Structure 1
């Protein structure tokens, strides 16, 4: 994790008590600062630096010494590290003290004119669990201007995502929501790697599989579906066909839900 005072990375061994920390939810840009580049932080471009420094400043102001950001806290060159973090991503957000949702393509004027739902952040696969897992989410614009909390903005969030307001207000209720409805919230979202459309559902569905970035989306969805059926065998009769058919069914369901709102 990032020490928000020294701006240095610190590792915590397995079994060591993890201190309270903040976590960042964001969309990746073209020149992100990675794990091996972090020691040269000051030499990076202003756009890449602003996101990290801004998040650290915010965490410090909230009394949190540590911050986790996926771009620089995961060693993308180590597949074991990548797989471990992908499997545990939901728990990272769930166990954080607070999550900062940084909308790099939005400013307060956008909110006034058209609503913050125009942000690319709402179209990405991974940000779904980043919205729902943390105990609290605070939204910030591109200049780190305060936009509101998940609770305060629950009506706007519901309008953009289709997630009921009561879930946005209290995501602990997620476990009581029909699993097919949970899936439907993700189907119109995109990921940079196709198989991540399956992997980003781990926390939402409450199941996981071993990530394999050499497999295609169909294989990943089928494996995830089988893991899901193992946990919820009573749901097997409600699904027909393979993973691709399931995705098509959920896409149609999501479109219908949006047209009927």
Structure 2
């Protein structure tokens, strides 16, 4: 498992991993340090025709290896935006007490088929072992005080400016990230904290858990593993997944591996 050193990113601007060796996939005799993990959707919103369009401008592993100057004006705007997402995620990790963070876009060498297969099959476990999952809702309206008939809605930030649930709630990969994580910190489009779902969360945070459960149709007791996944029927889990979308049909299957405790090679 390859982890980003958040301290280097925040203090020096460079993106470095905790182990630069070619064989830096996790080994049994090389335990990983405590780490945070990012849950997000790829790309960023851009106003087009009055709606949001998503552009895949993420920084990939090979690009990060060659990445030197975050202030390089020759970088495409989308790549600059992608770097800022990594930077802010690292800031959140440090603020939460974690020196390392795992981000799927740049921590997996997708040109290495063996590494990609192992990463996809290990992802559920990696999220479950993370100290905290940082959930970034890029298309959040960022308006927590918007009033409803019952008064201010504390969970308004889970929705876009078009009153639709944020894209994070409909993507296939984020279902296992939601189910596997033991502590989730939700952030809006401006990286302001929305709330926490955890066993240690202060009173009132059940409102956030229930709001997430309502949007996703996932049983609230399945969050944080209060009721283990094996106690839910195949039908129930497939129902949760049926509302999820992906740009690639095969990703729907891959994203379910951890939920059903299956290991398989990639096509």
**Given the two structures, how large is their TM-score scaled by the length of structure 1?**
0.76
Gap regions ≥5 residues in structure 2 = 10-15, 44-55, 148-155, 160-164, 199-204
Residues 1-20 of structure 1 show CA distances to partners (whole Å, capped at 9, x for unaligned) of 10011131223452201110
1:57 pairs, out of 91, 110, 116, with 91
2:212 pairs, out of 157, 164, 182, with 157
CA contact (8 A) 2:179 2:224 kept: no
Alignment of 1:43-82 (within 5 A): 43=72, 44=75, 45-82=79-116
Instruction: Give distance in 2, aligned partners of 1:20 and 1:111.
Output: 35
**More contact order relative to length (CA 8 Å, sep ≥ 6):** 2
Q: Which residue of 1 aligns with 2:250?
A: 195
Instruction: Give distance in 2, aligned partners of 1:190 and 1:89.
Output: 18
Q: Does 1:140 align with 2:187?
A: yes
**Runs (4+) off by over 6 Å:** none
Q: Does 1:101 align with 2:103?
A: no
Gap regions ≥5 residues in structure 1 = 213-261
**Given the two structures, how large is their TM-score scaled by the length of structure 2?**
0.74
Instruction: Identify if the C-alpha distance between structure 1 residues 111 and 141 changes in structure 2 by more than 3 Å, giving closer, same or farther.
Output: farther
CA contact (8 A) 2:135 2:186 kept: yes
Instruction: Give distance in 2, aligned partners of 1:25 and 1:105.
Output: 14
Q: Which residue of 2 aligns with 1:5?
A: 7
* Superposition deviation, residue 172 in structure 1: 4.8
Instruction: Considering fraction of residues, name the structure with more helix.
Output: 1
CA RMSD of aligned residues (A): 1.9
Secondary structure, aligned partner of 2:37: strand
CA contact (8 A) 1:24 1:69 kept: yes
